[in-house]
Amino acid sequence: MAMNSGVSASFMSSLAKANVNIRVIAQGSSERQVAVVVAGEDTSRALRAAHMAFTLSQTTCSVVILGGTGKLGSALIRQLNAQKESLKKNLNLGVCVSAIASRKKMIMGESSGLCLSTSADVDEMLRGEKAKDLDMEALTAMLEADVNPHRVVVDCTNDDGIAGFYERWMSSGINVISPGRRAGAGPLSRYDAIREAQRANS
């Protein structure tokens, strides 16, 4: 840190972006080391965020796809599979689909994510034994518990109920991508809350 400006800023910024609250900061007298104290439940996320900030490990993005059996969801799955190797090679980015849902069913993967090669695989999985009834609270709890600092929900639905979760997700540092208009065309109070959460976590 003594010889290179911005090292400490990059470290602290990586933790802030991962929604990790720093309780204590200490710097060595030689200015070659810095230590932080975080809550016990944030340690894994903090470590991953720091490693990714200094490219000590591949950046992994946890992705949840809602509406995965429709036209948009199916096209997204094809794109992710087609670009997987290119993203890894050119951007050092790994994409892990941690959950996928249709209108009525959902399936959540293990830590390694779901293996999806075609939309037919998705249909088959959502009809299988491991599929559960769609439960947005359970899905949100899984997202909030994920230690990965890079989490994204891709909402391919046009569901007003799902749009109601956007503000909560964004407040937890979870990014939301949606082609739908429900968030912008619904109640003004909800829109304002979403925009406020977006500003607070950008």
pLDDT digits (tens, 9 = 90+) for 101-151: 999 999 998 766 787 766 677 888 888 888 999 999 999 999 988 878 889
In the chain, the domains with their CATH numbers are: 7-53 (no CATH), 59-200 (3.40.50.720)
Return the pLDDT at 106. Answer: 94
d(CA 118, CA 16) in angstroms, rounded, equals 36
pLDDT at 202 over 80: no
DSSP 8-state code for residue 40: G
Q: What is the pTM of this model?
A: 0.74
Mean pLDDT of the chain: 86
N-to-C CA span, the chain: 26
Q: Is the pLDDT score of 3 beyond 70?
A: no
Quickly tell me which residue has 């799955």 as its tokens: 77
Give residue 162's pLDDT. Answer: 94
pLDDT at 153: 96
Q: State pLDDT tens for residues 34-74.
A: 888 999 888 888 887 887 777 656 778 889 999 988 899 98
- Is the C-alpha dihedral spanning 86, 69, 165, 185 positive or negative? positive
Strand partners, 80: none
Helices vs. strands in the chain: H and E counts, helices first: 9, 8
